[in-house]
Amino acid sequence: METAEIRRRWLSYFGSHGHTIVPSAPLVHDDPNLLFVNAGMVPFKPYFLGQETPQFSRATSVQKCVRTLDIEEVGKTTRHGTFFQMNGNFSFGDYFKEGAIQLAWELITRSQSEGGLGFDEKDLYASVYHEDDEAIALWKKVAGLSDDRIVRLGRKDNYWNMGVAGPGGPCSEILLDRGPQFGADGDWEAGDRYLEFWNLVFMQYELENVRSKEDFDIVGDLPKRNIDTGMGLERVAFLLQGVDNIYETDEVFPVIAAAEDLSGLRYGADHEDDVRFRVVADHVRSSLMLIGDGVTPGNEGRGYVLRRLLRRAVRSMRLLGVDAPTLEQLLPVSMERMKASYPELETDFSRISQVAYAEEEAFRRTLSSGTTILDTAVARAKSSGATTLGGAEAFALHDTYGFPIDLTLEMAAEQGLQVDEPGFRRLMGEQRDRAKADARSKKSAHGDTSVYRQLSDTLGRDVEFTGYDQTLTDTRIRGLIRDGVVVDRVGPGDEIEVVLDRTPLYAESGGQQADHGRIRLANGALIEVTDVQRPITGLVVHRATVLEGEAGVGADAEAEVDVARRRSISRAHTATHMVHQALRDELGDTATQAGSENSPGRLRFDFKSLQAVPAAAMGEIEGRINAVLLDDLPVTADIMNIDAAKKLGAMALFGEKYGERVRVVSIGEWSRELCVGTHTPRVGQIGVVKLLGESSIGSGVRRVEALVGADAYSHLAREATIVSQLTDTLGVRRDELPDRIAAILARLRDAEKEIAAVRQSQVLGAATGLVQSARDIAGVTFVSHDAGDGVTGDDLRKLVTDVRGRLGNDRPVLVSMASVAGGRPVVIVATNERAREAGLKAGAFVKLAAQALGGGGGGKDDLAQGGGSDPTRVSAALGAVEDHLRNRGA
C-alpha cells in the first residue's frame, strides 16, 4: 500500500467518525519555541494549554514534521530521519480512553479490502503505563488482548508531558511483533522486534515542576480530558510495504535509486555508502518540503537548518563519487513521489528548484574556497612542524564557511595531517549546549503560563497601555518574576519580568518590535527594560534587568519609553502602511499583507504575489511613497466597531485577531488599516523611504525591505559616494556610467568566450592524433592520454567522448584520459557499446584510477569521472586503468 493511500485512508476513516479534517499546518508555525513543527499535536497546542477554545470536539490531521536534533545520526541507522508525517486524531473533552482504543483497533485490524490497514491481530501488542489499570482493562475488553500481550512500562516509555508545566498523562502504544529474526521474545527495549507505530496519549492531569521526562509533580485533574494520538506514517508504510525501514518506502527510495544511477554504486553493497545514500534521500525530501513551505537557505535559524540539509546532501553525493551538480536530477524525483499528498509542490516546483539549485551552486563555490583556506591552514601547520590541524581551525571551517568536518578530515589526511577531532567536537558541543539552553529558556517562558495567569488574576483587569499619548507614565509594580517564579522583591543584577498596572511601553505585536525604556522607583531603584511581551491576553510583561537598588511589589514607579527608539520604529511602521498602499496602487488589491517587521530605521513587508515585481514598478512604488511624504499627510487613529471600519475600507492585517471594537489608522484619505501600533503624527516626519529590493520568500509570497529616515539618507549618501568613485575611475559622467560598465562587461564576456573557444579547439585538436595512437590490448581498442595542466573537466570530457565517437563501434573501445585543473587531478573513462557488452564498465575503471590519485569517483557504465588530491599521480592513475585492462585479457 502506497504511503499516499495510507494517508488517504486515515483521513477518510476518522472523517467518517465525526472528526473535522484539519489540513497540515506549514512546517514553519507560529510557535516561539520551535524552528519547525516537530509533532502532530503542535498546531493544537493552544487548545490543550487552554489558551484558545477549539471550534470542534474531534479533529484529525496528517501533519508535516521536521526534527533536526539528531541530524548527524541520519543515515547511520535506519531509525533517524528529519522529515516525517504524523497521523493524528484528537478529542477535546469528547471521547477518552475507550473511544481512542476502539477507533485505533478498528482501523488497524479492519481488512484492506474494507478500507482498513489490515494488520493481523495475532501480531499486535499494547504497552501501557504501569499504574494505568483502566487502560489494561480496556485493551482486554475492546481488543481481546490477553495479559501476555499487554506490557506495563514506566514513565520513561509510557507517560507524556510537554517538557514544561501544563497538561500530561499516561499513554499507550500499539506494537507490532515483527518476528524472532528481529529480537528475542519479550525484549521490549530493543525496538526492532516489537515496533511501536501508534501512540495514544490520555491527557488528563495538570503537571507542575517538570524537571525531566520522568520527574514531575501531578497536581490535579484537567477540567477536560483530551486525547492526542500519533501514528507515524512512514513507519506504517514500511511495515505494510514489506521493506525493512523508512528509506526503502515508496516516497523515499526512488531518490536512492536515482543516486545509484548517478554514482554507479549500489545501495546495500557497502555500509558507508548506504549511510550516504540515506542522507541524500532524507535531506533532499526534507529540503523539498521546507522550501515548499517558504524556508530559504541562510546563516541563522530555519535558513541555517535548510542550508545544512542541502549541503549534507551535496556532500554525500560527492563522497559517492559524483562531483557534478546532482540536485537537478534528485529533487524532481522526490517531488514526483510527494506530489500525490502535496500537489502544491508540483505547482510551485519552479521556485522550489530555483532555490535548491542556487544553494547547491553556492556550496560548490564554498567547497572551492574552503579548500583554499584548508590548504593554507595545513601549510601553516606543516611549516611549524605540527602533525595535527587544530580543532578551532576545523570548527571555524565548519561554522564560518560551512565546510563539513568529514571533508576536513579527509583532505587533511590526504596531506599527512590528523585533525584534533576531540577539540572540534568539544567546540561543537559547546555551541549545541548554548542552543539548547536558549531553547530551554524560551520554552520555559512560553510554557509556564500559569505564572502569568496568576499575576493576571491578581491584577484583576487588563494592563492599561498609555503609550499612544505618553512616553512617561506614573504607575505601580503589580508583579515580579525571577527565574520563572513569582517573587516579592528583586535586587541589583537580577534579570526579571515586571508587570505594571499601566505602561507607556509598547509590547511586541503586529510586526512592530517592542519598546525599550526604564522604570524608576521613588527609592532610587532603576530597572532597564529591553523587551515587552504579551504572554497571555490582557497582560503586559516587561523583561528587564535591575541596574540599581531594590524593587518590590506594590511600589510606585515611573515608566519611561526610549523615545529615540520609539520614534525610529514608529517611522518604520507608518512607512510600512505606505508601502502596503503603494503596492496595492501599483499591483492591484491582490497584493495584500502577509507579514511585516518594523524595527528602528528599517522595515520588512511581506505580501501576496504570484510574480516578481518588475524593477520599473519598484521605482514607481518608491516614487509614489516619497511623493506622499512631501504632501505631509496627517496620521490619525480612531476607535470604532468592526463593521464601521469595514465600511470605511480599512484593511485588516495578516495574522491579527480583532474584537468588536478596532483601531483604524488613516494616512489622510489615502490609506486606512486596522492597527494597534504606534505611528508618526504626520508622514513628513519620516523624511525619506528607500526600497532596497524585493524577493520571493515562499509560494506566492514576496518580500520588500526598506530603510527609513536617517538610515535611508545614510544609505543614499554611501551609494552617491560609490557612484562618484566609479565616474572618476572610468572618466565618464554619471548618466554615462551604466552604458560604460555594460560595454566593459560585454568586452569581458567576449574575451572569455574567445579564450574558451581557443582552449577548446586546442584540446579537441588533439583528437585526430589520439585516434591514430590507439592501441590494441586484449582485443580492445585502447587510448590513454595525459592532457596536462589547465584542461578543465568539461573540456576533458568533450575530448574523451569525441575520441570514443571517432573510433566507432565495430569493436570494443575504452578511452582513458586525465588532466590537472586548479591543482587537482581529474580522470575520465569512456566505453562504447561493444565494450560494455564485453563487461567493460567505465565506473569500475575510473574508481581504480581515482584511488591512485588519493580520491574517489563514479558514474555510469558508458562514462565516468573521478578525482583526487595528488597531481603527481596522474601517470599512475592512467597506468592503473591500462593494467586492469591487460589483466582482464590475461
What DSSP letter does each residue of 190-229 carry, written as one string? TSSSEEEEEEEEEEEEEEE---SSS--EEEEEEEEEEEEE
Which of 419, 442, 465 lies at the terminal end of a domain, its last residue? Answer: 442
Which regions of 534-620 does DSSP assign to beta strands (E)?
A: 541-548, 551-552, 556-561, 593-599, 602-608
Q: Do 72 and 184 belong to one domain?
A: yes
Same domain membership, residue 654 and residue 581: yes
**Would you say residue 752 lies in a domain?**
no
715 marked ligand binding residue: no
Relative to beta strand 689-698, strand 671-674 is: unpaired
668 dihedral zone (left: phi>0; alpha: psi -120 to 50; beta): left
CA distances from residue 383 to 372, 379, 380, 389, 420 in whole angstroms, order as listed: 17, 6, 5, 12, 17
694 within domain boundaries:
yes
96 lies in the same domain as 216: yes
List, in order, residues 6 or more apart from 789 with CB less than 8 Å away: 819, 820, 821
Alpha-carbon distances of 541 from 79, 445, 494, 530, 704, rounded to whole Å? 42, 11, 16, 11, 31
Predicted local distance difference test score (pLDDT) of residue 622: 95
Low-confidence stretches of the chain (pLDDT < 70) are 30-32, 70, 189-191, 299, 369, 400-402, 404, 406, 410, 414, 432, 434-449, 610, 652-659, 698-700, 889-890
Together in a domain, 532 and 598: no
Provide the grid cell at 332: 524532481
- Sequence-separated (6 or more) residues with CB below 8 Å from residue 193: 177, 178, 179, 180, 182, 183, 184, 185, 187
CATH at 795 = 3.10.310.40
Provide the pLDDT for residue 400. 66
398 annotated ligand binder: no
Report the alpha-carbon distance of residue 311 to residue 306 in Å, rounded: 9
How many folded domains does the chain comprise? 6
CA–CA separation, 871 and 827 (whole Å)? 11
* Alpha-carbon gap, residue 346 to 336, rounded angstroms: 8
576 and 705 share a domain? yes
Which CATH number covers residue 81? 3.30.930.10
Q: Is residue 108 in some structural domain?
A: yes
305 touches 348 (CB < 8 A):
no
The answer to whether 652 and 661 are in contact (CB under 8 A) is no
38 and 166 part of one domain: yes
State which of 425, 442, 459 marks the end of a domain. Answer: 442
pLDDT digits (tens, 9 = 90+) for 299-324: 677 888 898 899 889 989 988 989 89
Whole-number Å distance between alpha carbons of 45 and 29: 11
**Whether residue 641 sits in one domain with residue 691:** yes
Q: Is residue 753 part of a domain?
A: no
The candidate with the shortest Cα–Cα distance to 522, out of 557, 491, 549, 553, is: 557
Q: Within a domain: residue 37?
A: yes
Helices 327-338 and 253-263, axial angle in degrees (round to 10): 160
The cell for 435 is: 542552543
Q: Are strands 775-777 and 701-708 parallel, antiparallel or unpaired?
A: unpaired
pLDDT of residue 445: 43
Q: Which residues pair with 395 in a beta bridge?
A: none
Q: Tell me whether residue 735 is in a domain.
A: no
* 759, 794 contact by CB (below 8 A): no
Place of cell 557534478: 324
What is the helix (H) or strand (E) element at residue 727, kind and residue range? helix 710-730
Same domain for 676 and 553, yes or no, is: no
As given in the structure block, the three cell numbers for residue 853 are 590519485
Are 488 and 423 part of one and the same domain? no
Residue 704 CA to chain centroid, in angstroms? 21
3-state helix, strand, coil in the chain (%, to 5): 45, 25, 30
Contacts of 471 (CB under 8 A, 6+ apart): 504, 560, 561, 563, 566
Residue 783's alpha-carbon distances to 578, 603, 807, 859, in angstroms, are 70, 63, 10, 19
The string of pLDDT tens digits covering residues 172-193 is 999 999 888 888 888 876 667 8
What's the CATH number where 458 sits? 2.40.30.130
Encoded amino acid at 75, one letter: G
Up-side HSE of residue 581: CA atoms within 13 Å toward CB?
Answer: 23
Q: What is the DSSP letter of 142?
A: I
DSSP code of residue 140: I
Structural domain boundaries enclosing 858: 766-889
Cβ-contact 662, 639 below 8 angstroms: yes
Same domain membership, residue 33 and residue 175: yes
Q: Are 7 and 85 in contact (CB under 8 A)?
A: yes
- Tell me how far apart the alpha carbons of residues 421 and 654 are, in angstroms, rounded to a whole number: 48
CA nearest neighbour of 504 among 535, 532, 462: 532
Which pairing describes strands 489-490 and 556-561: parallel, antiparallel, or unpaired?
A: unpaired
**What was the pLDDT predicted at 655?**
40
Residue 63 in 3-state DSSP? strand
Rounded Cα distance, 256 and 851, in Å:
24
Closest to 468 in 3D by CA, of 561, 389, 383, 377: 561
User: If 0-12 CB within 10 Å is exposed, 13-18 middle and 19+ buried, where does residue 211 land?
Assistant: exposed
Residues 131 and 226 in one domain: yes
Distance CA 503, CA 560 (A): 8
d(CA 440, CA 69): 14
Please report whether residue 736 resides in a domain. no
Instruction: Please classify residue 738 by burial: count the beta carbons closer than 10 Å to its beta carbon, then call 0-12 exposed, 13-18 middle and 19+ buried.
Output: exposed
Residue 19 annotated as binding? Answer: no
Whole-number Cα distances in Å, 303 to 291, 297, 299, 316, 443: 10, 4, 6, 20, 21
E strand map for 574-633: 593-599, 602-608
C-alpha cell at 381: 601547520
Is 760 domain-assigned? Answer: no
322-to-286, 843, 865 alpha-carbon distances in Å: 21, 11, 8
Q: State the number of CA atoms in the 13 A half-sphere of 647 facing the CB.
A: 5
> Residue 573, annotated ligand binder?
yes
Q: Which residues contact 694 (CB under 8 A, 6 or more apart)?
A: 612, 613, 618, 702, 703, 704, 705
Are the C-beta atoms of 601 and 690 separated by less than 8 Å?
no
The pairs formed by 794-799 with CB atoms below 8 angstroms and a separation of 24 or more are 795/759, 795/760, 795/763, 796/763, 796/826, 796/828, 797/828, 797/863, 797/865, 798/760, 798/763, 798/764, 799/763, 799/764, 799/766, 799/767, 799/770
On whether both 405 and 473 belong to a single domain, the answer is: no
Final residue before a domain boundary, out of 404, 426, 442: 442
DSSP strand pairing (150-153 vs 194-208): unpaired
- Determine contact, residues 419/412, Cβ cutoff 8 Å: yes
Q: Are 889 and 782 in contact (CB under 8 A)?
A: no
Torsion of CA 671, 562, 659, 46, to 10 degrees: 120
Q: Which pTM was predicted?
A: 0.55
The Cα angle at residue 339 between residues 333 and 340, in degrees rounded to 5: 120
Burial of 740 (0-12, 13-18, 19+ CB in 10 A): middle
